[in-house]
Amino acid sequence: MTVFGFHASHEQIDPRALLEAVIHAERAGFDAAMSSDHFAPWSERQGQSGFAWSWLGAALQATNLPFGVVNAPGQRYHPAIIAQAIGTLGAMYPGRFWAALGTGEASNEHITGDAWPRKDVRNARLRECVDVIRALLAGEEVSHDGLVRVDRAKLWTRPEQPPALIGAAVSVATARWCAEWADGLITVNAPTAHLREMIGAYREAGGRGPLHLQVHVSWAPEQAEAERVAYDQWRSNVFAPPVCWDLETPEHFDVISQDMPMEKVHDVVNVSADLGRHVGWLEEYLELGFDQIALHHVGQEQRDFIDAFGAEVLPKLRSAG
């Protein structure tokens, strides 16, 4: 049966409020949670960006939920440090933590002052990072000279079972590439034909493990409010790669999305006051075979969304499954 999770958006919500939200989500019937990992928000209107790894320890302790995080090792984070973070959370909370690894966005990575590499170089760098992280989690001493450098690193605190390393992808080509190394695949909501093609490419290339989907939604009791929230908070997030990869600051995203038509927001966010329509959208994703679906209400206030989906949406989806 598909697991339904709550997405913790650090770019939008103060970490204390976000912790309260994920505790409330567990009580309301959500089965799991996942977390973003940003240094900066996508818009100045979002206005937050807490440190995910500090928050994850608190959230795992405060709930019984399994958690995942989407991380980009290689520039802002050294892979040995990410391996240590993964290993420590895995040791403290066995079987409850996984990490999705991707190539990242300039908006978070430019802070190091290093040049933002081409996509092919970022892919190669991530592949090196994956190998370093896996070796460290396996207990090996690692030295490596390449796009990342490691000198005689060894993890002294490790879980008995290494947490899964999930591949993050939004394109068919990247999904196929992730099959080479990942323990599963994660992507975001898109037209079902595109999602089906991504899943097919991943599986046909030998991709193993669970399929995760993050779904952006905006719900409010009134349609106008659901649209206002989506437009205010998520119109800066409508840009396809490479634009979303290469812009550097929240101000850049705000400038280019200033006159964004609402129709474009509807392309990336499931916006409706009708809970039945949300059930219908999610049933389409269920039919594609996703093992976990994390729901991200793009508003900054989460309680009403959690209560409504916990009471009216998740039970219908579970009965359908």
Residue the block writes with tokens 């089965």: 31
216 catalytically annotated = no
11 catalytically annotated = no
Calculate the dihedral angle through the C-alpha atoms of 292, 35, 37, 216, rounding to the nearest 10 degrees. 70
The answer to whether 71 touches 99, Cβ cutoff 8 Å, is: yes
Report CA-CA distances (Å) from 25 to 82, 222, 294.
27, 22, 12
145: CB partners within 8 A, 6+ apart:
none
Instruction: Look up residue 133 and give its two tokens.
Output: 């992280």
* Local structure of 247: helix, strand or coil: coil
Candidate list 7, 10, 38, 296, residue with the active-site label = 38
Instruction: Look up residue 208 and give its two tokens.
Output: 């193993």
* Local structure of 302: helix, strand or coil: coil
Candidate list 105, 109, 128, 227, residue with the active-site label = 105
Sign for the pseudo-dihedral over CA of 24, 28, 32, 33: negative
**Helix axes 52-62 and 79-92, enclosed angle (nearest 10):** 10
Active site residues: 38, 105
